[in-house]
Each structure stands twice: as structure tokens, then as C-alpha cells.
Structure 1
Amino acid sequence: MLEGLEGTVVKIRENYILVKSGPFTFGMNCSISTTERLKVGEHYNFNTYLAFYQDRAPELYGFVSTEELEVFSALIKANKIGPRLALKILSGTTPDKLKALIASRNIEGLSNLPGLGKKTAERLIAEIGHLFENEKIGESLASNDSRVDDALNALVSLGFDRRISSRVLSDILKVTPDIEVNELIKEALKKIR
């Protein structure tokens, strides 16, 4: 099984990339959040999932983040959610937010994601909800708080781990819920370092 791929990105489309590794060039499906982090000509290590089909060629799915692969792997365990739909869902949110929506059994929030209707959201919670029961994700991250999005994206772009950053932001917002985004980032940097 192909579990990883190391190479240089030679082309990026919205959710598809080409990666040159040795004498081979691989095409990989990626979430939009992954492709937004990549640059042509840069070298990356991808976590991969190889999907086999009876009626068409195999497809390779690539993830820069291990967490995104883990959530993708959980999604495809649900009935009627294949790799393409799982990738579409991941393109509409972050792994942390998706886990928070599933853990909090937020059917309405899940239904707003691309490719998910109410029935599919209910089935997703019923079939894989137990996988995220032990997740300690703050309520603020399950909401659509743009401050959290902005602060989390800023911290990740600075090289901090997404999971640790989200927990730190959640802790800060519990103490000071009305904090401005710039102060939220400053406080998070103090606590992470």
C-alpha cells in the first residue's frame, strides 16, 4: 500500500496536484485547504490514500497534515461516503471544525458543508460519531466564529500545530469571550511558546 509520497509539486489546480518524485510524476487529489498551502517548485512529504475501483483507474489522495488524513479515513468508513465526497467535505472546513461538528452532533452545521444534506449528516453522526467522542474541542471552534478562523490560520501559517493552536484559542476564549482577533493571536503566541 502506498502510504506516503515525497516529491516536488509541479502543478496545482483547485483540488488536484502533480508531484514529481524521482522519475515519476503522480497526480493526487487534495482538499482545497491542502492545495492552498502548497507552492509550485517546493518539496513536500504527503500522507496518501490510494483508492481502488472496479470500473475506473485507482486514484491517489494526498494530505500535508496527518490530522486531515485521519479525518478523511474516518469519513470514508461511513456508508455511502467515498473518497471524493470525503475530500469535498474536507474542502469546506478544517479537520478540527469537522470533528467538533460531529462530536457535538451538530446536524445543522454539518448539513451546511458541501456534499452533505440532513440525512447524510445524521448518518455520519450515527456511524462515525463515536470516533470523535473523546475529542476535547472548545464550543467556540464548533461555531462559525471568524475570529477563531483568522487566529487559527495565522498561527498555522507561522508553523504552529493546528490541534494545539485550536486548544489554546479555545482556552483563551473561555476566559475572555469578547477578545479582539489581534489580541487573541498575541495571547495564543504567549501560551504556545
Structure 2
Amino acid sequence: MIGRIRGIVIEKQPPEVLIEAYGVGYEIQMPMTSFYQLPAVGQEAVIYTHFVVREDAQLLFGFATKGERALFRELIKANGVGPKLALTILSGMSASHFIFCVQHQDVNALIKLPGVGRKTAERLLVELKDRLADFIPEGNSVSLPMPEGKSIENTFVVSDSPKDEAVSALLALGYKQPIASKTVNTVYKDGMTSETIIREALRSML
């Protein structure tokens, strides 16, 4: 099990980051709430990871804190929830917001997330209500808001325009093309970086 990686950020292509540690490059998929907290390209990052082995792939999922990783692990234990859907859920809302929804049985907030229909949302609320009743991982905050005023300029690799980059990230998180494009166009303002567009797009869909 690969549980933690410390290395240099080589590329940032949301929701994936490439980290080089001791000459090895690790491709790590992260929920956007953790992705926002990554340092700039060329700087060192510490990421808590969950390693998934399938017949056709070996995947690394990364998190800013042990708390968010613990919540991810609880999510993938739920019936019908795989790593990709868990990643999408934790990208659409912070860990603390999700826990609040479960503890208060807020099905309407969950069904706004891509891939989470009413039946899936109701099942999540039932299965996780008791498990998350007192979910405060020791020594780790599960509240992961985007820090106000944090500079995110020039912190990731841009292969297309910021709007195209943002749409691609939303598609990777499970949003449909029409919704992704419409939301990005709605929130976009001149001078925005891809990361800012993604953050505002996800926020607007809650």
C-alpha cells in the first residue's frame, strides 16, 4: 500500500497531478478540494494516498489530509460507490460539507452531484449516517475550503485556454459536456485561471 508521497510537483492537470519522488513520477488523481491546496509547479508537496489495484489498472488517489482520505475510504465502502464517484463527490463539496449533509440527511444537496441520483443519495445517507455520526479524524481537519485570497496563478500546466482546461477537468469529474460548458461560460471572467474557473463552477452547481 502506498500511503504517503512527498515529492516535487511536476505537472498539474486537474484533477490529476504528477509528483516526482526519488526519480519516479506518480500520477495521482485528487478531489478538487485537495487539488486547490497544492503548491506551485516545482515546489514540494506531501500527499496522503490511497492505492487501488484493478485488473486493468493501478490507480493512486491523493488527499491533502488524512481526514479527507479517511472519508474517501468510507465512501468507497458504500454499495455502488467506486473511487471515481467518491472523487467526484469530494470535488463537488468539501469533506465537512458532505459530512454535514449525511448527518442532516440532506438528499437534495447530494443529487446535484454528477453520478449521484436520488437512489444513490438515499443509500449513501442510510449507509453512512452511523459511520459518520462522530467523524472527526484525530489530528486532521475535514474542512477543506479554498483559502481566501490564495494566489493560484501560474501553478499548473495549461495545454489549452483556461476555459477549455476547466471544461476538461469537469468532464473528468463526471459532468456532462453541455453542463460543463454552460457552467464554465457562466462563471468565466477575463483573467481567470483554469483552477479558479473550476472552483467557481463547482461552487455554482451546489
Using the size of structure 1 for normalisation, the TM-score is 0.68
CA distance in 2, matches of 1:156, 1:125: 34
- Structure 2 residue runs of 5 or longer lacking an equivalent are 137-143, 151-206
Which has the larger share of helix? Answer: 1
After superposition, residues 84-163 of structure 1 pair within 5 angstroms as 84-134=84-134, 153-154=146-147
Give the Cα–Cα distance (whole angstroms) in 2 for the partners of residues 20 and 2 of structure 1: 14
Question: Measured at CA, do residues 74 and 24 of structure 1 come closer, stay the same or move farther in structure 2, by a change above 3 Å?
Answer: same
Which residue is 2:25 aligned to? 25
The amino acid of 1:119's aligned partner reads K
Shift, 1:135, TM fit = 5.0
Are the counterparts in 1 of residues 33 and 146 from structure 2 also a CA contact under 8 Å? no
Shift in CA distance, 60/135, structure 1 to aligned 2, threshold 3 Å = closer
Contact 1:111 1:118 in 2 (8 A): yes
Unaligned runs of 5+ in 1: 137-148, 158-193
Q: Which structure is larger by alpha-carbon Rg, 1 or 2?
A: 1
Q: Secondary structure at the match of 1:131?
A: coil
How far the C-alpha of 1:44 sits from its partner, in A, is: 1.3
Greater RCO (Cα-Cα under 8 Å, separation 6 or more): 2
Report the aligned-residue RMSD. 2.0
The corresponding residue for 2:53 is 52
CA shift for structure 1 position 93: 0.5
Q: 1:128 to 1:26 in 2, by over 3 A?
A: same
Aligned residue for 1:80, secondary structure, equals coil
For 1:7-27, what per-residue CA distance to the aligned partner results, in whole angstroms no more than 9, with x for missing partners?
111000110010000010110
Relative to structure 1, is the Cα distance of residues 64 and 135 closer, same or farther in structure 2, using a 3 angstrom cutoff? closer
Q: TM-score scaled by structure 2?
A: 0.64
Partner of 1:168: none
Partner of 1:37: 37
Structure 1: 4+ residue segments shifted above 2 A: 152-157
